[in-house]
Structure 1
């Protein structure tokens, strides 16, 4: 008797091998996981999601409908990708010019949120717990805890680990944590409670 997998894949979805999928993960309608892809535990991939090849998704990620994660994209644990957000894979695409060797790395830090219909141009990193507003176009690195919006995306504030916008006192209204500038990353870090 074959043991049932510890994850769920809808009957309309495809998972190419070799791939690994963590326990508790759910992959919904019409999604496609390409080979050499790792998806962590307790993730949810909505309808029409494409991941891979050669992509790593951490644990506890939520990838909403109509998102494609191409080679070069790497999601740390706890990343939220809003519906129809876009990750590019080359800077100057042309249909008649092969550029698969030019795919840019796009690491997304732990707990980051990418809003609906946002675009992240390849070769830029998203810091941990950063928040990309819906419809924003990211054209440069985003530091940890930054809230960015607009076209091109610019920092308009700071957010806590729980996603609350920080005011001048740099205290999270939900958790009471205080934040301070991190001179190494150009973003913020938790100072204490």
Structure 2
């Protein structure tokens, strides 16, 4: 394997790093974490025990990814983002005794392929951020985020849709529920079932199986 670990980074010997991955100064990668190929772990970032990270993922400076988080291929995690893992955080138990690792159950955040988490956003576990979704800077995600959704605010709510390029989609004139990426021209269709609204990428010559 060919990867780069900067001198002040701490990478446990049981962690797995893929080809072309770089771990920058003061970053920490814990036991049995697994990172794919071409990843960038920024200065001061933290990757918890057993965390799973796909290929070509970027963790910017001081991002905190606590176990048992799972990040798909091509995920972007902005500066100072936090992925939590404790639904009921307490330093001590009801009797006032310091809680240890076995005294609480860790729950994870899942971030699907291509999704981006803006600077200082927080994902409160357990929650899933869908494929190619975009979480705005400073948002607090407390509910699952649909594929291609643009969410913002505290708590985060959907305010629009984005495509694979990360650009906000525009509605196609005369086509209710039809959306298009102004950068790539890719078309999408909004579909609602009950209380759930989803966006589906329509097939193209380049992506016939979309």
Q: Which runs of 5+ in 2 are unaligned?
A: 94-98, 173-178, 205-210
Q: Describe how 1:1-193 pairs up with structure 2 within 5 A.
A: 5-97=1-93, 98=99, 100=101, 101-169=104-172, 170-181=179-190, 186-193=197-204
Moved over 2 A (4+): 97-101, 181-187
Residues 41-89 of structure 1 show CA distances to partners (whole Å, capped at 9, x for unaligned) of 0011110011120100000001000111111210000000000011111
Deviation, 1:105, is 2.4
Alignment size in residue pairs: 189
Instruction: Provide the TM-score with structure 1 as the length reference.
Output: 0.93
Consecutive unaligned residues of structure 1, counting only runs of 5 or more, are none
Shift of 1:175: 1.3
Alignment RMSD (CA, Å): 1.5
Tell me the SS of whatever aligns to 1:192: coil
Alpha carbons of structure 1 residues 183 and 105: separation in structure 2 relative to 1, 3 Å: farther
Q: How far apart, in 1, do the equivalents of 2:156 and 2:121 lie?
A: 10
Contact 2:49–2:68 (CA<8 Å) still a contact in 1? no
**181-190 or 44-53: which moved more?**
181-190
What SS class does the counterpart of residue 129 from structure 2 fall into?
coil
Query: TM-score, normalised to structure 2's length?
Result: 0.86
